[in-house]
Amino acid sequence: MNRTIRAAVCSVAVTGLAFGLSSCSEAVDQVDKAVDETYEVTYEVTGKNIDSIEFHGGGGKAMEPKIESVSKPELPWKKTVTLRGIMPAAVMPVAVDPEGSQVTCRIIHKGKVLEEQSSDGLVTAGGCTAESPITG
């Protein structure tokens, strides 16, 4: 009798483990897809007296993106980049001018503004960061 109960318990445990691994496998597949999927955003920066613009350009790792930079950009400035997976879209215009600066940045995905920020003053570091649309 104990053998029968033990066999039944082992059978249930093995079946449960198989179902658990199946669910785990599906979750891993979803994460892999999200990490490998790409999306395109357009960064826009307007204003006056902007010294530089730094942005995530698509290189590097999702949590350690490579930051690209443009010095003395011609305004209005626009750049479309392809990002991958959970990498956030980010653009940071920087202005240091004794007479004051104005900065507006936007991150656009498929015609929709994901983030927009404006700032003005003597030292301005206006930045926009948006979560990956793949994760949401």
Which pLDDT tens digit goes with each residue over 108-131?
A: 999 999 999 988 765 566 689 999
pLDDT given for residue 34 in this prediction: 61
CA distance 127 to 47: 13
- Tell me the CB-side half-sphere exposure of residue 91, using CA atoms within 13 A: 28
Asked whether the beta carbons of 94 and 125 are under 8 A apart, the reply is yes
User: Tens digits of per-residue pLDDT, 45-75?
Assistant: 999 888 999 999 999 888 789 999 999 999 9
The structure's pTM equals 0.73
Sequence-ordered list of residues with C-beta below 8 angstroms from that of 120, at least 6 positions apart, any chain: 47, 100, 101, 102, 103
Both structure tokens of 2: 């104990």
